[in-house]
Structure 1
């Protein structure tokens, strides 16, 4: 019986992030991926040139179609764009009692905004308390808390704890935007640091889709029955391999994607 994970996110026409990255990562980790598309973006490795939100009734219908038929073991939530889409997704997963990985997607690697400013409060109030684990990068965490971006490990821990106090069961503070030769992702849960996932910082511009890939990989692990620290460890190791092989792809002229199938083909 296949383990199943559902991604609720936006589509990336360039294939490096969003729904496309999520399904690639889930497949690479041996999990069947289902999808609910919340927005269609015209996007490549250099820019997001258009965003079209999917009608709310169609988003709701997609969620119902998947959850009423497939035995979904975990849900990953990514790009939601507007307050109305956030509320629709929250309503749609009300009856789901499995783990939820919430990736608060706000800005594309190109710097283009993917979440309306007025939607931040809705995300914080409506979906954050539903999260089994929240996976913000440092600018996203700061935005959710209306604070300056964390610059030290101590500030990362403090902000992660603050996000837990807003309702998230656990928070993975991603250190990709920090300084230093080693990147640390810190898992905060039960009022403590439950995991410190470290990796050397790699000299590559091809990191498009890293956040989507990590969160969907965590969801894949949870769908397979791993506990949260184990799921994060598996996802972290998988992503580091995908980043290490990213330069072999040669996709696009901007921030290229990571190599989701680095263990399958070179």
Structure 2
């Protein structure tokens, strides 16, 4: 079964955050493992409290999640948690397995060990081909700040270089690239900081007829994905889209196909809500 590690905040309303991530991964037939970064108290209308989890506990959760096929990252809360997530995903991980007598002989121990014995192996926690989808959650729909200024800086400098794709909406893109003018310049800012690709979500755009998302890859023409705008308001749409993308990428889909599949699943949620 496809395993996806989702890292993010707990939204008490269930509309967004890690509960939405888990629901999406499960809906698509995957298995979610989790690392909670913060506990929040909020509804669709207002945010009441936010209590960050200690960076050390976040790290322990990531390490305990075990092998996964993809990672989806959402709310990070502050700089300390953001840096810890980046460092933990990038750290070497030591694993132990049992070496058989035959393997030992092949490795040069002519008579082999007297019995099977443990051999320590080191592998990277995040292999180069492990998909990581970053949804840069900066603020809740109700206006609660979900990533402080230090966290935004840490996201750009430590986390983006690990990510296969980052999925900002238009306000998030502007906030993460404040000195850039226009979408193309903002995307360039994120790519220069190491993002593998950028999917700009167009839900906040001015077009009242359709919604267009744009996928920017390095040295490539942007791919455009458009669909009619549905006159409904749902929370957690960014969480849903990024988590669905992570599931598709975990199953070996290309990035463009993962975007298409995730958009189709999100549209289905809109139509049946």
* Same-fold status (TM-score > 0.5): yes
1:261 paired residue number: none
2:247 paired residue number: 220
Please report how far the alpha carbon of residue 240 of structure 1 lies from its aligned counterpart in structure 2 after TM superposition: 1.2
Distance 1:102 1:219 in 2: 9
Distance 1:81 1:26 in 2: 22
Say whether residues 1:202 and 2:230 are aligned partners.
yes
Helix, strand or coil at the partner of 1:124: helix
What are the within-5 Å matches in structure 2 for residues 129-140 of structure 1?
129-140=161-172
What are the within-5 Å matches in structure 2 for residues 151-230 of structure 1?
155-180=182-207, 181-204=209-232, 206-230=233-257
CA deviation profile, 1:99-143 (whole Å, cap 9, x unmatched): 110111001111221111232111111111111000001111111
Q: Would you say how many aligned residue pairs link Structure 1 and Structure 2?
A: 236
1:40 paired residue number: 39
What are the within-5 Å matches in structure 2 for residues 246-261 of structure 1?
246=273
2:141 paired residue number: 109
Distance 1:52 1:89 in 2: 17
Helix, strand or coil at the partner of 2:19: helix
Helix, strand or coil at the partner of 1:178: coil
1:89 paired residue number: 85
Say whether residues 1:55 and 2:54 are aligned partners.
yes
Say whether residues 1:240 and 2:239 are aligned partners.
no
CA deviation profile, 1:47-70 (whole Å, cap 9, x unmatched): 111001111211111011013xxx
Unmatched 5+ stretches in structure 2? 91-124
TM-score (norm 2): 0.83
Helix, strand or coil at the partner of 1:193: coil
Please report how far the alpha carbon of residue 31 of structure 1 lies from its aligned counterpart in structure 2 after TM superposition: 1.1
CA contact (8 A) 1:194 1:229 kept: no
CA contact (8 A) 2:135 2:166 kept: yes
Helix, strand or coil at the partner of 2:137: coil
CA contact (8 A) 2:156 2:190 kept: no
1:260 paired residue number: none
1:252 paired residue number: none
TM-score (norm 1): 0.85
Higher radius of gyration, 1 or 2: 2
Q: Which has the higher strand share?
A: 2
1:27 paired residue number: 26
Distance 2:140 2:221 in 1: 28
Helix, strand or coil at the partner of 2:221: strand
Q: CA RMSD in A?
A: 1.4
User: Quick one: which of 52, 71, 74 aligns to 1:75?
Assistant: 71
CA contact (8 A) 2:138 2:145 kept: yes
Helix, strand or coil at the partner of 1:36: strand
